Amino acid sequence: MAVGKHSGRAFGGRTRTEALVAGVAAAALMVLVPALAAGGEPVPAADPAPAKGPFPVGRAVYDLGDRAFTPEAPYEGRSEIAGVVHYPVAPGSEGPTRGRHPLIVMQHGQWATCADRGAQNALVKAEKALALAEKAGDEARTAAQQKIIDRMSDRLWAWPCGAGIPALPSSSGYDYLAERLARQGFVVVSMGANGINSTSAGQADSVYRARAALINEHLDLWRRLDAGKGPLRGGIEDPGTGRSLGAAFAGRLDMRNVGTLGHSMGGGGVMQQVSDARHGDWPAGVRIGAALGLAPTATWDNEPVTKVPLAVLWGTCDQVNTGEYVKWNKDGNKAPLHGVTLTGGNHNYFNTQWSPGSGQVAGANDAIPGERRGRCVSQDGRNQQHPGLDEATQRRIATGYTVAFFRRYLLGDTSQQALLTGRKKLPGVPDVVKVEYVRPH
């Protein structure tokens, strides 16, 4: 979810696939992170290196149109059906390895839709001028600057984007997670939701249902592709060569063993889609075996999520912090529930495109700065000064727990159960993680 500059647009056991990835659990988690400098401040580091998993990774894309998806009423607006695919590639082939692979689908959250740097620069300039005008009590100048802000915001949040303006690819912001998961034998799809982002203002009561419906739409497309049918058969292509790859996925998916992952409002969409009352909306033949939220926002309905293994990761310096899914579901969970808290983590660093290190339009550290350099103010009600995590460290922690979680519940790999219950620490990372595990009852 975009905050600050664009807050006006934001809302507050074992499977048949197990043999594919046996013996690589430890390799999936052995990633190094920087040490902490004196005073507890993190030392910046490069992005995480690819894991030494058992499979090389292929990348593909599909785009069925910028306005191909229409959510049910009362939601107003249309969205794209597009995705970035990472998958374990067979040696000497462009398609996925033999056997059936669990599918993991990802959905990004609320953020600007167009990488319009001119509009962003003009917006920042106008916001500074607005603050000065308001301080001086200059009503005419205040109104003029507000008009500029509104006009530039419309450009940044348009869908489709204006002529010559590229889309801001929030769906690619989780490539670091998708690649690591694909190395373990998963087929991973990160869907675009820019159309929903562009049209969701004022629709808080229906946007999460729209997001859940978009997840189900992608799942149905992949279900049909697994049967050798549907538009994805001819719609998935190699982004480098343009060669069609869709047919290679037929018969390669385990649609009874699907994982979902969402960040921010995309996390809210995942919670809506996997909630106890919404299982009947899943496409026929599809079963969700695990769901994970990265700083998921609270849905309008706040429906219980108790029947599917669930993990929630969030950082203590996350300003968005609205979804307390562990607290809300711990008294009635019938499936395992894992809460993972990253001390010093923020909201944006889970997505590379939203982070300043990417150089992308609007990328920012959303944490409130602390009194000392490198510190941030906690948003857990205590207003403590926490050492802020750098981008690479936050993503390495997220990667370790995400891989362990999906391996546990989609592949039946119990080797990292101690990590998921908090009895073991993730190797090579600062001791900044607290895990709350709630057994099914």
For residues 130-149, average pLDDT: 98
Contacts of 335 (CB under 8 A, 6+ apart): 306, 307, 308, 309, 310, 440
Query: In terms of domains, do 102 and 132 share one?
Result: no
Query: Rounded to 5 degrees, what are φ and ψ at 272?
Result: -65, -45
Report if residue 119 sits inside a domain.
yes
Query: In terms of domains, do 120 and 109 share one?
Result: no
Residue 321, pLDDT > 90, answer: no
Query: In terms of domains, do 132 and 259 share one?
Result: no
The total domain count for the chain is: 2
Tell me whether strands 288-294 and 310-315 are parallel, antiparallel or unpaired: parallel
Query: In terms of domains, do 142 and 284 share one?
Result: no
> With the CA atoms of 155, 156, 162 and 165 taken in that order, what torsion angle do they form, in degrees rounded to the nearest 10?
140
**Among residues 98, 131, 156, which one ends one of the domains?**
156
Query: In terms of domains, do 95 and 106 share one?
Result: yes
Query: Rounded to 5 degrees, what are φ and ψ at 106?
Result: -120, 150
Per-residue pLDDT of 345-399, as tens digits, reads 999 999 999 999 999 999 999 999 999 999 999 998 899 999 999 999 999 999 9
Query: In terms of domains, do 146 and 53 share one?
Result: no
Give the CATH number, domain containing residue 391.
Answer: 3.40.50.1820
Identify the band that residue 53 occupies on the pLDDT scale cut at 50, 70 and 90: low
HSE-CB of 303 using CA atoms within 13 angstroms? 18
pLDDT value of position 235? 98
Identify the band that residue 90 occupies on the pLDDT scale cut at 50, 70 and 90: confident
DSSP state of 388: P
Q: How far is CA 46 from the centre of its chain?
A: 21
Amino acid at residue number 261: L
Q: Which domain holds residue 152?
A: 115-156
pLDDT value of position 305? 98
d(CA 219, CA 140): 51
pLDDT value of position 198? 99
| DSSP element (H, E) containing 291 | strand 288-294
- Give the pTM: 0.89
For residues 236-256, average pLDDT: 97
d(CA 172, CA 174): 5
Residue 17, pLDDT > 80, answer: no
CA-closest candidate to residue 234, choices 226, 305, 225, 297: 225
Report if residue 108 sits inside a domain.
yes
**Among residues 133, 156, 179, which one ends one of the domains?**
156
d(CA 178, CA 407): 13
Q: CA quadruple 265, 266, 267, 269: dihedral positive or negative? A: positive
Q: How far is CA 399 from the centre of its chain?
A: 12
In 78-185, where do the E strands start and end? Answer: 82-88, 101-107
Query: In terms of domains, do 251 and 132 share one?
Result: no
Report if residue 131 sits inside a domain.
yes
DSSP state of 377: E
Residues of the chain with pLDDT > 70, as a percent, come to 88
Mean pLDDT of the chain: 90
Per-residue pLDDT of 161-206, as tens digits, reads 999 999 999 999 999 999 999 999 999 999 999 999 999 999 999 9
